[in-house]
Amino acid sequence: MAHIRTQVGIIGAGPAGLLLAHLLHKAGVDSVVLERQARPYIEARIRAGLLEQGSVDTLHDAGLADRLHREGLAHDGMQLRLAGRDCRIDLHGLTGKRVTIYGQQESVKDMVAARLATGRPLFFEASEVALHDIATTAPRITFTHEGAAHELRCDVIAGCDGFHGPSRAAMPAEVLRVYERVYPFAWLGILADAKPVSHELIYARHPDGFALATMRSETVSRLYLQCAPDEDPANWPDERIWEGLHARLGGVNEGRITQKGVTPMRSFVAEPMRHGRLFLAGDAAHIVPPTGAKGMNLAVADIRVLAPALLAFFARGDERLMDAYSATALRRIWKVQRFSWWMTAMLHNSNGNDPFEDRVQAAELAHVMDSEAAQRFLAEQYVGLPYDA
């Protein structure tokens, strides 16, 4: 077995793990990144592409935003649609901030390139990853890479390996508390070679179900339809998809559909986010429904808390920020969970299973469209809360 020594072992090369590795490297702290998938896979998988103002600022300050600034689509507003009525939420006018459309996979490409440019280890296709001795001051990670067994000895482990990774599972059952809600609907999402119907996102509530019109570029549309959680995309031929989008969104630009898939809807939080020398970040600790586009933004927020905590530890032996990490991160996480739950409930219907709730939620959406105070609340949450909130 080959032995490797580093300061921080990072499991997962998603936005959380790669951003943490980059910030640590800039400050002179060594890390090793392990990723179970191949590089082409993580750079191609489609995820949400809406960045809060704070996430853009964080990537800029880290030196990771050159391409984002060139290719990202800045949005000063978004639109709500109910019963044929439209309401534009003036995000910039209400908050002084904006959001930016830039696919998560594009951010991952940028961060992978930055990591490889440092020459520091990034192991793709690392398998049989297991965590050991996390409650001690000398945690270890064992893994297999290119058929050879390895042991990574470190001072700290950052579990940034997503919902299904081994990091959260390594925490003792008697320590971990899980809060979860699984929603009775999902999104059928497509990518299409078609000009976006609007230069801003459109969120629509319709008797047939929710719909969302967004984009990946000026020539590629990303479109969603509410569907059943167990929906088979094969039951949605292109003609049916376009018919549903036209009905719910009031018309879209059609084009060649290049990708089709179903996204389940879940709210999930694991507490605490730290046990011993193991720290969870990103989807390893929390999942939000995609309605509010908060997944990657929460991962960035976690790292904004975790990175300074680790830097204080390695620079001065100061563990106070590490001790506060979980509580600090969770304060924001639960506020974002509330917003994502609220947006999800307000914009989706129950498929006839709860007519009372449907009427109440439609009234909630109508109130937002009629009230500047309600629009300000939505806008403040949508562009991202201040990091010290």
Which distant-in-sequence residues (6+ apart) come within 8 Å of 360 by Cβ? none
- Dist CA 305 CA 116 (whole Å): 24
**Residues with a known catalytic role:** 75, 203, 290, 294, 382
Q: What count of Cα atoms within 13 Å lies in the side-chain half-sphere of residue 186?
A: 12
Q: Do the domains 183-265+351-383 and 2-76+98-179+267-344 match in fold?
A: no
Going by C-alpha positions, the residue among 33, 29, 35 that lies closest to residue 7 is: 29
* 257: Cβ contacts below 8 Å, ≥ 6 apart: 190, 191, 192, 238, 241
Burial class of residue 315 (count of CB atoms within 10 Å of its CB; 0-12, 13-18, 19+): exposed
Q: What superfamily does domain 183-265+351-383 belong to in CATH?
A: D-Amino Acid Oxidase, subunit A, domain 2 (3.30.9.10)
The residue among 149, 104, 136 whose CA lies nearest residue 14 is 104
Q: What is the DSSP string of 165-181?
A: SHHHHTS-TTT-EEEEE
Instruction: Name the band, by pLDDT with cuts 50, 70 and 90, for residue 28.
Output: very high
Q: Which residues contact 346 (CB under 8 A, 6 or more apart)?
A: 205, 361, 364, 365, 368
Residue 389 has what pLDDT?
A: 67
Listed by start position, the domains of the chain span 2-76+98-179+267-344, 183-265+351-383
pLDDT digits (tens, 9 = 90+) for 206-225: 999 999 999 988 899 999 99
Structure confidence at residue 340 (pLDDT): 97
With a CB cutoff of 8 Å and minimum separation 6, the contacts of 57 are none
What value does the mean pLDDT take over residues 148-166?
97
Quote the mean pLDDT of the chain: 96
Token couple for 5: 């020594």
Both tokens of residue 190? 């497509």
Average confidence (pLDDT) over 324-347: 97
pLDDT band at 44 (very low <50, low <70, confident <90, very high): confident
pLDDT in tens, 100-147: 999 899 999 999 999 999 999 999 999 999 999 999 999 999 999 999
Give the tens place of pLDDT for each residue, 62-89: 999 999 999 999 999 999 999 889 999 9
Is residue 349 classed as helix, strand or coil in its secondary structure? coil
- Rounded CA-CA distance 368/378 in Å is 8
Helix (H) or strand (E) holding 17: helix 15-26
Looking at the DSSP assignment, which residues form a beta bridge with residue 9? 32, 157
Q: What is the pTM of this model?
A: 0.95
Rounded average pLDDT over 350-378: 95
Per-residue pLDDT, averaged over 175-192, amounts to 96
- The Cα–Cα gap between 121 and 363 comes to 53
In this prediction, residue 114 carries a pLDDT of: 98
Q: What is the CATH number of domain 2-76+98-179+267-344?
A: 3.50.50.60
